[in-house]
Amino acid sequence: MWNGVDNEAGTDRAALTGETSAKEYNPRMKILSVATLLLLAAALQVGAQETLPSPKDENGAKGKDGNCGLLYGKDHSLTFCAPEGWTLNNGIMNDQGIYAVFYPDGSNWQVAKESGTIMYINVVGKTADSTVKAMMEADANDAKRNTPATVVKPGELIKIGDVSAPVMRFAPGGFDRYEAVAYIGEEKVLVMFIISSKNEEIFKKDYPAFVRLVQSYKFLSSNVTIEHK
């Protein structure tokens, strides 16, 4: 099964580290079966959506048969898949407005956050002066302002089909964490994939999984109409 995530706005990289953020959304979440996903993907092309709920566990985690997701909301619909060995959870961080998070199989969100690696996806709407470059500069400035010791440097581009996503690395970053953000610019939104690890050794070990997550990204449409029933 696929996880359908309705994200009218988003939360930025700061949401999981306790920093304040001006980019807050009020997202909603749907769970979709594979059959419903196919209908929904087709409906997105004509500006309408139909969704039906399907089972999940009490924490919102999906196993090996449900490790892909559809994130959709105002001005965006996109898909992604958790890398092998990782769990996609769209329920555990709903109270912080985060609906697509990842942690290693066999672990859980809290354990991974405290002693390992977590990953998540954020989408923000574009304004007249919004660009990937401007977002990267703003994140770098925010990181240095919040934690002056942070070392910010560009990472290697991540190839996604015919395009490449620039990456910014933050070390040690807020709360002594090692982090990286991959940035993707679309017509009306900016999409960010974030990895955050407890230390540099764990970050290096899990970074290939982050690359695979980013490479699974597919943008479907900027024209989305959500019907509320």
CATH number at residue 69: 3.40.1000.10
Report the chain's mean pLDDT, rounded to a whole number.
76
Q: How many domains does the chain have?
A: 1
Residue 35 falls inside a structural domain: yes
Q: Which domain holds residue 209?
A: 2-221
Cite the beta strand spans of the chain per DSSP E: 2-6, 28-32, 61-62, 68-73, 76-81, 86-89, 101-104, 117-125, 151-160, 163-171, 178-185, 189-197, 218-221
pLDDT at 90: 85
Residue 229 falls inside a structural domain: no
> How far apart are the two ends of the chain, measured CA to CA in Å?
23
pLDDT at 17: 40
Q: What is the mean pLDDT of residues 76-91?
A: 90
**Tens-place pLDDT, residues 5-52:** 445 444 344 444 433 333 433 343 343 444 455 555 555 544 433 222
Residue 199 falls inside a structural domain: yes
Residue 152 falls inside a structural domain: yes
- Read off the tokens for 66: 């449900």
